[in-house]
Structure 1
Amino acid sequence: MTVTLGEIDYLRFRVLVEHKLRLCESNEIIFHDLREIYGTISPECVTIRKWRAEFNKNKTLVVHPEHPGRPKITGLGPEVTKVIQDNPYISLRRLADTFHHDKKTIRRIIDEETEYIRVCLRFVPHILNNSNKIQRMDYAKDMKKQIKQFEKSDFRNIVTGDETWIYLRNYASFVFRRRGEEPLEKPRQAIGDEKRMFTVFFSGEGIQFIHMLPKMQTMDSEIFIKEIIQPLDEQYQQQRSKDDRNVWIHFDNARVHTSKKTQTCNSRSIFTQLKHPAYSPDISPCDFFLFGVLKQELKGKLFRNEDEAEQAVTRILNEIHPSEIQRAFRNWIYRLDYIIAHDGNYYNKSKW
């Protein structure tokens, strides 16, 4: 292959020579190696000797020149620090307007001249007061004790459930398109978009009960009892022998779950209720596990009617292997340990 001056320039020869100088090769070897590969366009011996002297002096042959333009802005660190201390929620744009520099410069100054980093705030469901935290700790201790007993039977004697909304049109955030094709658009989910309420109960054996609330109906105590609790109770009555009816049921503190009618129905059923503390979705398996799996699988699914949605939800839920559910129940115990060890605060996986 013929190499011309247009294909390799002066700077690249300096890089090659510097590499060989770092390998302690002699001027003659460097000259012959380069001449053999690049021919007459390679540097002469006198040039290599000159570059060796430069290398011995500067320890490099390749220097990045300073780009022309205005000098780098420095020294604002203390002033930026003071503003951030006064208002840690201040935006980069506001800081840029305050110091009359662009956001890129302010971001660099924060990184290089201050001890601050900009992080996203962690979402919590509720601002817990001392009473809430004490209640969460007390309930967590009781729940852990009971759930540990269920672990011996792979959690087959505990059934937990909750409600969630499922949209008929579930837009994905990303999609593959051929190069050159117009990108698709993703509309924002609106309150008025068609959706259905699903109630799901599951145990360590798998999904036990799925209920979809029809259009134009509202979930209340009567529907919850008649269409969910009573059928679930009958199902367990048929499945279990008289000696194997120590079944506990768990759900959160939604009004339909805590109403007097629901509590009366529970007291007459096969179930013993496991109490749940207020404002605590972080220790509800439906919230920290099941519904996340379900809605991740539904991304990109656009249903024409509620029957298609019900079939898809049922299929996705029934494909969850019992071993995954049992792992979620063990994570439930792990989260309860966190609540107890951290004075009732919300679970934070980065600190545990």
Structure 2
Amino acid sequence: MATYIKEWSKLEVRAVVRFLFSKGTKPSEIHKQIAETYGEGAMSRSRVYQWCTWFGEGRTSLGDEPKSGRPKTSTNEENTTRVDELIRCDRRIKIREIALKLEIPKSTVHEIVHDTLGYRKVCARWVPKMLTEDHKLQRVEISQRLLQRCQQDNGDEDTTHIGVGPGGDFQANNNLFDNLITGDETWVHLNTPETKRDSMTWKHPSSPVTKKFKVQRSAAKVMATVFWDAKGVILLDILPQGQCINAARY
């Protein structure tokens, strides 16, 4: 398994960019290889493109060009390390919180976070349920037993009898899947307002502004349980308001 090069210098990374660029490698691929070898914080995508542009214009120096005016002292290795440590301790920390803790400008923190360290703030992916390893193993075992049952009904151990048809439907050489029944339960609110997109109407530029009252989803809700098979819904059961599904009800 490949590991990052933990100790590197800016000149080393720039030299690698120059080498790959001279070989005709595209900037996007150069950034990918740099990130895979040195880590995301070695050089941002925009900086890779900038250095490729400079090398294409004939630049040979790997060092920083002398700058006029007041030097930037906040964006240094010490602050970069401290910012990285704060983010690793709290992945939800905000730019302004980092700036207050380190007593440096927010613009500097933004540059360190996005350009130097290459961080992006993203949302976690919503999943229906957080499954444990035991849950996953149980699902695998049940799926394997179901597959074995299908093979036994076919009278053949060859799994090629089961596959995905032209229309994307799961197919088998027997009626096993036609006999399967599954079910689930969900809360159903007694009043679900239409979405903003649902309420959109066609208008001319000169038409008056349309107004509507803001309606919230009702707090009153009931538990609905539905069972179905390959032919459609078999049972739809709605509990009285305030009651929940339990083992006895199932």
TM-score, scaled relative to structure 2: 0.46
Larger proportion of helix: 1
Which has the higher Rg, Structure 1 or Structure 2? 1
TM-score, scaled relative to structure 1: 0.35
> Which structure exhibits the higher relative contact order, with contacts defined as CA atoms closer than 8 Å and separated by 6 or more residues?
1
